[in-house]
Amino acid sequence: MSLNLLERTVNDLMEKFGAGNHKPGSGSAAAFQGMVSAKLISTVISLCADEKRKHLYSHCIFELLDFQEQIENRIYPELADKFQFDSEQFDKTINLRKARDNEKDGIIKNQLRRQALEELKVSIAIPLQIASLCKEVAEIAAFVFDNGFKAARGDSQVSLSGSVLAIAGCISIIRLNVLSFNSDEYEYSKSIVSKVNTLELEYKRLNKIAGSKIEILNDEFKKKIPLFDGINKIFTKYKINKSLDIEQCARELQNLLWKNKHLIWKKNIPESYLDILNPEVIFKKALGYDYLSSDRYAVPIEEDGIVEVAGVIDQPNKLVLVSDKFPDQVQRFTAAHELGHAILHKQSILHRDIPTDSPDKRVAFSKVEKEADKFASYFLMPSRLIKKEFEEKFSSEVFQLNETSAFNFGGKSLVDLKRECKTLRDLSRKLASAEFFENKRFESLSKRFGVSIEAMAIRLEELNLVHY
């Protein structure tokens, strides 16, 4: 009774492959490679067919599912059958050869030799069949690599390369075994050689495809090098520089993000420079941080135990936490504040304990907190974009408070506007929140840049765009 190899544990099976016997042999090994490759690519197809991402593959999902059905119902079962059959069949050939070599009677020896050669023909047919099945697996794997789940292309590539290597093994097995035949079997040998030559052409084609997929992944990494190198240079430059030009730092990061936006945003690539100023995306896609939000975060302090905070950055563990109990614009400023810490500061853990995005209200806090606030302001409200948007909305590079500008606020008089805006800050807030001026409606500056009215008002004053 033959031993069913597929019922063995993996460790036991590996022991049998390495035991120095002919059973299981190279044909079974090639079939096993094909089986692993088939199951790997079937798994990738299952990931594509998952309900949460199935819509992403609507252009090829039916083709993928058809491939999976072929693998599960035909290709894999046939490979499993050949895995067992090759071991049993080659055992017959070897036993006949042993009997032949031990036989003293010349006539019987001749019979055994002929029987061994006939069994060898069956043994040659098996790797031809294995190679044909592995060719199908390789073709499917190449298709799935190109069209299937991108994050599982490692599995797709292993499936492709594994099945191609199985074909190479089959070619070697066949070429070796055909050497056992002499001129009396020339027609048979020629037929087999013709088949294996055709198979070798397919192997070379598929091997080239497998190599090209590796190059695709390599090229994708090479494309990321300018982004990675650029971020590393910014980190190196500004973490060790004690005389920080924080606005220049923010500008360098913005320019780097814009140049590499297609690497950070795989879909819905930003068309506007303003759209790249998304701290959450930058943390996740460019800096490799996990970004989490909850309605409460706290950190321990010596006197009172814990204190609730708006945000926390844990640099060693690449983790940013932002409290979502505050308005969206405060969360956005907090995230940009933590981004400033990530780039400018070496401290392992820092927290933003005051939920405000108004840097002038944080004068009592440490130097690093002030620097992070400045970075957030410069990053979310770039001077060039603010000036451009300001001029478009208010038809002037600088807003001068006079009768004409007051009238453009819905027909107000200068006296009325001064009564409404008693200070420069009041006027700056009005401009930051304005959605109507000079008979035209528009999105307010604060909404356009996703910051609070107060933060925008302060930025307008910093840029000297408002004269009271």
The 3-state DSSP class for residue 132 equals helix
In this predicted model, which residue has the larger pLDDT, 101 or 179?
A: 179
Q: What gap in Å lies between CA 75 and CA 61, rounded to an integer?
A: 19
Q: What gap in Å lies between CA 31 and CA 81, rounded to an integer?
A: 9
Does residue 233 lie within any of the structural domains?
A: no
pLDDT at position 317 is: 92
Q: Assess whether 368 and 395 both reside in one domain.
A: no
78, amino acid identity:
E
pLDDT at position 307 is: 56
Q: Cα 263 to the chain's mean position, in Å?
A: 10
Q: Assess whether 91 and 137 both reside in one domain.
A: yes
Q: Assess whether 343 and 393 both reside in one domain.
A: no
Q: Calculate the alpha carbon distances from 23 to 15, 26, 85, 94 in Å.
A: 11, 9, 11, 10
Summarize the confidence of residues 449-466 as an average pLDDT.
96
pLDDT at position 339 is: 96
- Sequence-distant (6+) residues with CB within 8 A of 106 are none
Q: What gap in Å lies between CA 42 and CA 55, rounded to an integer?
A: 18
Do 153 and 145 meet the contact criterion of CB atoms below 8 Å apart?
A: yes
* Residue 9: pLDDT band with limits 50, 70, 90: low
In this predicted model, which residue has the larger pLDDT, 393 or 117?
A: 393
- Sequence-distant (6+) residues with CB within 8 A of 195 are 128
Residue 299 has pLDDT above 60, yes or no: no
Domain count of the fold of the chain:
3
| Spatial CA neighbour of 206 closest among 176, 166, 174, 175 | 166
Phi, psi for 22 (deg, rounded to 5): -85, -10
Does residue 449 lie within any of the structural domains?
A: yes
Q: Assess whether 300 and 330 both reside in one domain.
A: yes
- Sequence-distant (6+) residues with CB within 8 A of 79 are 31, 34, 35, 38, 130, 133, 134
Q: Assess whether 317 and 447 both reside in one domain.
A: no
* Residue 1: pLDDT band with limits 50, 70, 90: very low
Find where tokens 């190109």 sit: 146
> Helix (H) and strand (E) counts for the chain?
18, 10
Does residue 231 lie within any of the structural domains?
A: no
Average pLDDT, the chain: 88
Q: Cα 207 to the chain's mean position, in Å?
A: 25
What's the domain range around 269?
246-380
In this predicted model, which residue has the larger pLDDT, 310 or 57?
A: 57
Q: Assess whether 38 and 155 both reside in one domain.
A: yes
Does residue 227 lie within any of the structural domains?
A: no
Q: What is the SS3 assignment for 315-368? A: CCCCEEEEECCCCHHHHHHHHHHHHHHHHHCCCCEEEECCCCCCHHHCCCCCHH
pLDDT at position 304 is: 55
Find where tokens 């598929």 sit: 206
Continuous H helices in 241-312: 246-259, 261-264, 279-281
Does residue 338 lie within any of the structural domains?
A: yes
267, amino acid identity:
K
Query: pLDDT tens digits, residue range 19-53?
Result: 556 567 788 889 999 999 999 999 999 999 999 99
Query: pLDDT tens digits, residue range 240-287?
Result: 776 779 999 999 999 999 999 999 998 889 999 999 999 999 999 999
- Composition of the chain by helix, strand, coil, percent to 5: 70, 10, 25
| Spatial CA neighbour of 417 closest among 432, 428, 427 | 427
For residue 431, the number of C-alpha atoms closer than 13 Å in the C-beta half-sphere is 33
Choose the weakest-confidence range: 67-76, 312-321, 458-467: 312-321
E strand or H helix that includes residue 300: strand 297-301
pLDDT at position 363 is: 45
pLDDT at position 109 is: 80
Q: Assess whether 58 and 175 both reside in one domain.
A: yes
Q: Assess whether 56 and 151 both reside in one domain.
A: yes
Does residue 232 lie within any of the structural domains?
A: no
In this predicted model, which residue has the larger pLDDT, 166 or 362?
A: 166
- Name the pairing type of β-strands 305-309 and 297-301: antiparallel
| Spatial CA neighbour of 273 closest among 44, 448, 21, 52 | 448
Rg (the chain; Cα; Å): 35
Choose the weakest-confidence range: 232-246, 267-281, 430-444: 232-246
Question: Over pLDDT 90: what percentage of the chain?
Answer: 66
CATH at 18: 1.20.120.680
Residue 302 has pLDDT above 60, yes or no: no
CATH at 299: 1.10.10
Summarize the confidence of residues 295-321 as an average pLDDT.
71
Summarize the confidence of residues 397-417 as an average pLDDT.
92
Q: Assess whether 113 and 29 both reside in one domain.
A: yes
In this predicted model, which residue has the larger pLDDT, 18 or 132?
A: 132
Residue 429 has pLDDT above 90, yes or no: yes
Going 287 to 290 to 293 to 296, the CA torsion angle's sign is: negative
pLDDT at position 19 is: 56
87, amino acid identity:
S
Does residue 433 lie within any of the structural domains?
A: yes
Q: Nearest 5 degrees, angle CA 64-CA 159-CA 58? A: 20
Residue that finishes a domain, picked among 176, 206, 222? 222
Query: pLDDT tens digits, residue range 346-378?
Result: 887 776 655 545 455 544 468 889 999 999 999
Summarize the confidence of residues 84-112 as an average pLDDT.
81
E strand or H helix that includes residue 287: none
pLDDT at position 36 is: 95
Does residue 142 lie within any of the structural domains?
A: yes
In this predicted model, which residue has the larger pLDDT, 363 or 4?
A: 4
Q: Is the pTM of this model over 0.85?
A: no
The 3-state DSSP class for residue 312 equals strand
- Sequence-distant (6+) residues with CB within 8 A of 407 are 413
Find where tokens 């879909």 sit: 267
Q: If 0-12 CB within 10 Å is exposed, 13-18 middle and 19+ buried, where does residue 373 land?
A: buried
Q: Assess whether 444 and 310 both reside in one domain.
A: no
DSSP for 161-172, please give it: HHHHHHHHHHHH
Q: Assess whether 178 and 64 both reside in one domain.
A: yes
Q: Nearest 5 degrees, angle CA 331-CA 450-CA 441? A: 150
Q: Assess whether 407 and 368 both reside in one domain.
A: no
Residue that finishes a domain, picked among 380, 414, 440? 380
